[in-house]
Amino acid sequence: MEIIIPEEKITKVLSADICVIGGSCTGVFAAVRAARLGAKVILVEKANRFGGVATCGLVGMWHSLFDMECQKQIIGGLTYEMLDRLDKRGAVSGFRTPAESLEYGIRFNSEELTLELDELVLEHENIRFFLNTSFSRVIGEETGRVDAVILENKSGRFAVKADVFVDASGDALLCRGAGLPLWKSDKPQPPTSCARFSNWNTLGQHDLKELVEKYRSELPDLPCGYFWSMDIPGTPDMMFAGTRVLNCDCSDGEAISNAEVTARRQIRALMDMYRREFPENRLSLNSLPSAVGIREGDHITSCGKLCGDELLAGTYFDDTIGHGTYPVDVHGTDDDSITFWRLSGDKFTYHAQKLVCQERWLPEGEILPHYNIPLSSLIPADAVNVISAGRMIDADRKAFGAVRVMVNLNQCGEAAGVAAWLALHRQCSISQTDHNEVRQLLNNGSSCIIEPKETSK
Ligand SMILES: Cc1cc2nc3c(=O)[nH]c(=O)nc-3n(C[C@H](O)[C@H](O)[C@H](O)COP(=O)(O)OP(=O)(O)OC[C@H]3O[C@@H](n4cnc5c(N)ncnc54)[C@H](O)[C@@H]3O)c2cc1C
């Protein structure tokens, strides 16, 4: 059966220099960097708030801004600026020194981040934003060139024409619409719904994994993920992550609908378990995410795929636009395993929350101070006026396991915003932007783009 959509004239057409699709921190930071350089920006987000997984997904954890030698700050820019703003509201744990953040990460209150992202966007008069608005299709006649995008919200359908577009949709929706080639991992990382709890302390000391195994046959929906939790600064609450929906294709609409319900049933089973085991406890479930947290969907095919071996060799790229220290962290697609390649040189594999393998991937005594992220891994091959930023980055399984975290993707967002502005300013295609100029502009905006220590690629 087929349905042909009749031709439709769109009469509401807005224009901008740059249009950003997707308003997680990645997209907001792209919009803000372009706006600070003087561009007129339209920012589109389908949720009712900015922040993506960090707000809608309740994941209030960023990672260290310092290198592994604790010598140098390697991440600055809007990540630092946002943390500083959250600090003024008592909504973040320590992040200014390596000692505060290297071990346990930087924890923040997702709701306060929501408020602060609103303020950040509002401070830029040249950003016009649409929340509760979905990008639906691309208008363009040539592969890789987007003339306009069609958006939908409660006012109906309308269009945005722009010179350059940033795809920060997570799922590479704009790139897909522009006919640009995408690829899928054969072992994509699974989605997870987090949950926020009050009165976790009334449970007392217990071994969660043992409890889950004890109740598994009674409560088959109990989660099998790698469990971690964090306190939420300024509140008595806990955020818990540990659900895992196995074998889910997160770029498929129906699969993701099922994943929403499956992950929530895992949280429900967890509550049932605690009620049975500790009848006197006062644990209460106080929020669920408004969208399941997606770790991995489709990836772009770029001008420069980032490979795990290069990443873990600390390869410096001429077009490096960001740095990170978060380990390669790969969650099993079809089981409860997780493997970490830490930059300290240790590799750990856990199964059922138990350490099953520990070895060195670096010679004894060596560490990798940080790795680098190239701009070319964000630029789709054949793109004329489209750049991506976010988890659709062109990175192989190992490299993606590391770069996928937010402090890294925030830097990609900033770089995409700057590159988009430069393409506009120089009237060139996105792949012709001069990466040295991008790097210079990033540094001018307080990013920490450091000079090569090792061989250039
Ligand atoms: C459970 C879980 C735990 C994690 N833990 C951590 C952690 O501790 N620390 C860390 O740094 N990272 C963590 N990650 C990884 C990290 O959160 C993600 O990789 C990252 O948030 C992806 O950022 P993104 O901007 O690419 O995508 P997203 O955050 O998914 O943002 C995409 C945005 O685009 C919007 N969008 C999508 N489609 C449309 C459309 N059609 N129109 C308009 N807007 C649209 C979405 O609503 C969303 O706001 C975790 C991920 C998960 C799932």
pLDDT in tens, 116-171: 999 999 999 999 999 999 999 999 999 999 999 999 999 999 999 999 999 999 99
Q: What is the largest CA-CA distance in the chain?
A: 67
Residue 322 confidence (pLDDT)? 98
Asked whether the beta carbons of 14 and 128 are under 8 A apart, the reply is: yes
Asked whether the beta carbons of 87 and 94 are under 8 A apart, the reply is: no
pLDDT bin (cut points 50, 70, 90) of residue 224 is confident
- Residue with the nearest Cα to atom 28 of ligand 1? 52
Q: Flag whether 359 is in a domain.
A: no
Residue 421 confidence (pLDDT)? 98
Does the structure show a pLDDT above 90 at 176? yes
Residue 450 confidence (pLDDT)? 86
Tell me how far the alpha carbon of residue 113 lies from the centroid of ligand 1, in angstroms. Answer: 14
Total number of domains constituting the chain:
2
The domain containing residue 111 runs over which residues? 13-186+298-323+373-444
Enter the tokens of residue 200. Answer: 């976790």
Return the closest-CA partner of residue 395 out of 311, 314, 322, 334.
311
Assess whether the C-beta atom of 49 lies below 6 angstroms from ligand 1.
no
The H or E element that residue 435 is part of is helix 435-444
What is the helix, strand, coil percentage profile of the chain, to 5? 30, 25, 45
Give the Cβ contact number of residue 38 at 10 Å.
11
| Residue 131 sits in the same domain as residue 204 | no
Does the structure show a pLDDT above 70 at 457? no
Assess whether the C-beta atom of 30 lies below 6 angstroms from ligand 1.
no
Assess whether the C-beta atom of 414 lies below 6 angstroms from ligand 1.
no
| Residue 161 sits in the same domain as residue 306 | yes
Residue 48 confidence (pLDDT)? 98
- Mean pLDDT, range 398-422, rounded to an integer: 98
Assess whether the C-beta atom of 194 lies below 6 angstroms from ligand 1.
yes
| Residue 202 sits in the same domain as residue 154 | no
Residue 303 confidence (pLDDT)? 86
Q: Flag whether 255 is in a domain.
A: yes
- Mean pLDDT, range 234-256, rounded to an integer: 95
Tell me how far the alpha carbon of residue 228 lies from the centroid of ligand 1, in angstroms. Answer: 18
Enter the tokens of residue 406. Answer: 């937010």
Q: Flag whether 338 is in a domain.
A: no
Instruction: Please identify, among 287, 311, 338, the residue that sits at the C-terminal boundary of a domain.
Output: 287
**Which of 3-12, 133-142, 328-337 shows the lowest per-residue confidence on average (mean pLDDT)?**
328-337
- Residue with the nearest Cα to atom 38 of ligand 1? 169
- Residue with the nearest Cα to atom 4 of ligand 1? 59
Q: Flag whether 399 is in a domain.
A: yes
Q: Give pLDDT tens digits for 359-393.
A: 999 999 999 999 999 999 999 999 999 999 999 99
Distance CA 207, CA 42 (A): 48
Instruction: Please identify, among 267, 287, 307, the residue that sits at the C-terminal boundary of a domain.
Output: 287
| Residue 207 sits in the same domain as residue 179 | no
> Whole-structure pTM over 0.75, yes or no?
yes
Query: CA 224 → CA 228, 275, 329, distances in Å?
Result: 12, 19, 17
Return the closest-CA partner of residue 444 out of 406, 410, 414.
414
Asked whether the beta carbons of 35 and 127 are under 8 A apart, the reply is: yes
Q: Flag whether 330 is in a domain.
A: no
SS3 state of residue 192: strand
CATH of the domain at 75: 3.50.50.60
Asked whether the beta carbons of 140 and 149 are under 8 A apart, the reply is: no
Residue 119 confidence (pLDDT)? 98
In the predicted model, what is the mean pLDDT of the chain? 95
Pocket test for ligand 1, best of 19, 20, 24 (most atoms within 8 A of CB): 24
Enter the tokens of residue 425. Answer: 């300013």
The H or E element that residue 326 is part of is none
Q: Give pLDDT tens digits for 308-332.
A: 999 999 999 999 999 999 999 998 8
Q: Give percent of the chain above pLDDT 90.
A: 91
Q: Give pLDDT tens digits for 70-91.
A: 989 999 999 999 999 999 999 9
Assess whether the C-beta atom of 295 lies below 6 angstroms from ligand 1.
yes
| Residue 217 sits in the same domain as residue 313 | no
Residue 231 confidence (pLDDT)? 95
- Mean pLDDT, range 85-113, rounded to an integer: 93
Assess whether the C-beta atom of 23 lies below 6 angstroms from ligand 1.
yes
pLDDT bin (cut points 50, 70, 90) of residue 23 is very high
| Residue 440 sits in the same domain as residue 319 | yes
The DSSP symbol for 318 reads T
pLDDT bin (cut points 50, 70, 90) of residue 453 is low
Does the structure show a pLDDT above 50 at 454? no
Instruction: Please identify, among 259, 287, 315, the residue that sits at the C-terminal boundary of a domain.
Output: 287
Residue type at 361 in one-letter notation: W
Tell me how far the alpha carbon of residue 63 lies from the centroid of ligand 1, in angstroms. Answer: 15
Tell me how far the alpha carbon of residue 390 lies from the centroid of ligand 1, in angstroms. Answer: 8
- Residue with the nearest Cα to atom 14 of ligand 1? 405
Distance CA 65, CA 63 (A): 7
| Residue 208 sits in the same domain as residue 115 | no
